[in-house]
């Protein structure tokens, strides 16, 4: 019996990244259903190479401890994802 092939249609969205006081949007859309680890790895490679407009290249960038937030389309804004540092009670996490 042939193996069933499942075709998944990705929901491509823009990824906003905040890093060291700078913010930028990854030029290429990502699949919003990607695993957090995959999104963090994509962002790490992009920031390390200077691929994200608005964020200076940082060869030491590491987003392992960052948070991936996903937002549904609302109030005229498209579905989107944000990668940001963890914060605690509105301040920087220690």
* Joined tokens for residue 22: 């700078």
- Cβ-contact 92, 85 below 8 angstroms: yes
- Tens digit of pLDDT for each residue in 13-46? 999 999 999 999 999 999 999 999 999 999 999 9
- Tens digit of pLDDT for each residue in 1-16? 677 766 666 789 999 9
DSSP string, 72-91: --BTTBPPEEEEEE-EETTE
pTM over 0.85: no
The number of angstroms, rounded, from the C-alpha of 24 to the middle of its chain's C-alpha atoms is 10
Q: What is the dihedral of CA 62, 67, 89, 74, to 10 degrees?
A: 140
């Amino acid at each position: 019996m042939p193996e069933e092939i499942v075709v998944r249609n990705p929901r491509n969205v823009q990824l906003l990244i905040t890093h060291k006081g700078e913010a930028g949007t990854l030029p290429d859309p990502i699949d919003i259903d990607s695993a957090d680890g995959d999104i963090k790895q994509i962002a790490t490679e992009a920031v390390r190479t200077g691929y994200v407009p608005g964020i200076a290249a940082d060869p030491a960038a590491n987003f392992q401890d960052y948070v991936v937030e996903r937002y549904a389309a609302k109030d005229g804004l498209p579905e989107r994802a944000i990668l940001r540092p963890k914060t605690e009670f509105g301040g920087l996490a220690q």
